[in-house]
Amino acid sequence: MTDISESNSHSDPAWFDEANALEQIDARVAQAEHLQSGIDYRSLLTGFITDGFCVLPGAIPEILIDSIMADFHTAAQKREQILLRMGGKYNHPGEWGIVGRRKRVIDFYVPSHSALEAILAKPVTDFLSLIYDEPPLAFQSLLFQYGSQQAMHQDTAYVVTDSPPLLTASWIALEDVQAGSGELCYYKGSHRNIEVLFDTGRAIWSRDIDDSTVNESYINRLSRACEDANLELQTFLPKKGDILFWHAGLVHGGSEITSKDYTRKSLVTHYCPHSGKPNYFNIQKETSSKEPFAEGFYSSRHYDVRPESNNPYPIYTGGEDISIK
């Protein structure tokens, strides 16, 4: 069942990884049409290129976030429509009782229209279209109620597409995040020159091929590489509605939860260019589709989002047969 094309077919560097990327910003922003006013896209691109991430404050209106959270609470009563994941396993229909701690809701933008509006909000599609030179495809998301405490990693190790350097993610704060809640953390600048392979020699981890020691070794060597390069470990303490975008190579994770009652409500989404292909398109060929929404597109490994399917329930709730968190 595993079908991981490790061809990394896009061998040309993305424009934002070229040596003269910073010099390209002005022309690219000037050429872009209909960008939302009041947002400094030049600064965002500069941060993304230089640091591997950038922050867009107050990008998602409070009312939309409240609506996502209302959908989240309604969803608790409609367990069949929601897909949870915990400890590398899917959980469906979700046992909601302990959702708080380690569970995350997968692809909540399908059952929640408000979540879809947020992950393809205009500032998001504007920024990602500048990055991609075409509209983005949102293809996987995780909604967290508490900190993930996920080990440091680069997303390309687990989230597989045909164009690894073009993978991006957004992290939307669904509340003001407090220190101690298991904040998102990252090594600033780690998207450049930090490349650590698994002991297998591969750049991608596969749950059905590699055991957990392979993963642990990778995690340890990755953090060590960042420390050896004297990269600064930073944490993200956003306000509700702020968005952080990160580059495919940014080494990041969830810090330890030191105040166990603090929530850390957040929505993470992975994107590739609209013309790109998430790995699951090679496996679920019939049901994988790219649906337009606002100025972008979305797809899901877990739901059949084709309009003709009209099926609100997840269709794929199985085990971990490809690397895509």
Ligand X SMILES: O=C(O)CCC(=O)C(=O)O
Residues that bind ligand X (CB under 6 A): 142, 144, 148, 150, 155, 169, 184, 252-254, 266, 268
For ligand X, which is the closer residue by CB, 21 or 177? 177
In this complex, which beta carbon is closest to Fe ion, that of residue 41 or of residue 271? 271
Q: Minimum Å distance from CB 99 to ligand X?
A: 16
Strand partners, 170: 245, 269
**Phi then psi dihedrals of residue 290, to 5 deg:** -115, 110
Q: Which entry of ligand X, Fe ion, none binds 324, CB below 5 to 8 A by partner kind?
A: none
Q: Which is nearer to Fe ion, 104 or 114 (CB)?
A: 104
Q: Which is nearer to ligand X, 137 or 268 (CB)?
A: 268
- Sole binder of Fe ion in the list 71, 126, 155, 242 (CB under 5 A): 155
- Residue 313 burial (10 A CB sphere; 0-12, 13-18, 19+): middle
Nearest distance, CB of residue 314 and ligand X, angstroms: 18
Parallel, antiparallel or unpaired: strands 243-247 and 291-293: unpaired
Distance CA 132, CA 161 (A): 14
CA distances from 27 to 21, 51, 90, 211 (A): 11, 21, 45, 47
Return the residue matching tokens 């896209």: 41
Structure tokens at 61: 């209106």
In the complex with ligand X, the residue whose CB is nearer, 117 or 183, is 183
**Residue 78 tokens, joined:** 């409609």
Q: What is the DSSP letter of 181?
A: B
Asked if residue 243 lies in contact with residue 120, where contact means CB atoms within 8 angstroms, the answer is: no
The CA–CA distances, whole Å, from 63 to 66, 69, 142, 240, 294 equal 5, 10, 20, 11, 18
Q: Which does 299 bind (CB under 5 to 8 A by kind): Fe ion, ligand X, none?
A: none
Under the binding rule (CB under 5 A), the answer on residue 242 touching Fe ion is no
Q: SS3 for 30?
A: helix
Q: Which does 254 bind (CB under 5 to 8 A by kind): ligand X, Fe ion, none?
A: ligand X
Q: Which stretch binds Fe ion (CB under 5 A): 112-120, 122-130, 151-159, 181-189?
A: 151-159
Measured from the CB atom, the residue of 25 and 184 that comes closer to ligand X is 184
Partner whose binding site includes residue 148, from ligand X, Fe ion, none (CB under 5 to 8 Å by kind): ligand X
Chain residue whose CB lies nearest ligand X: 254
Least separation in angstroms between residue 142's CB and Fe ion is 9
**Minimum distance between the CB of residue 123 and Fe ion, rounded to whole angstroms?**
21
Q: How big is the chain by its Cα radius of gyration, in Å?
A: 18
Cα separation, 196 vs 120, whole angstroms:
32
Cα distance between residue 130 and residue 41, in whole Å:
9
CB of 27 to ligand X, least distance (A): 31
Residues 6+ apart with CB under 8 A from 315: 287, 302, 303, 304
> Which does residue 268 bind out of ligand X, Fe ion, none, counting CB within 5 to 8 angstroms by kind?
ligand X
Of 103-111, 147-155, 177-185, 221-229: span binding Fe ion (CB under 5 A): 147-155
Residue 111 contact among Fe ion, ligand X, none, beta carbon within 5 to 8 Å by kind: none
Q: By C-beta, is 126 or 155 nearer to ligand X? A: 155
As measured in angstroms, the least distance from the Cβ of 205 to ligand X is: 13
Q: Pick from ligand X, Fe ion, none: which does 114 bind, CB < 5 to 8 A by kind?
A: none
Residue numbers of the site for Fe ion (CB under 5 A)? 155
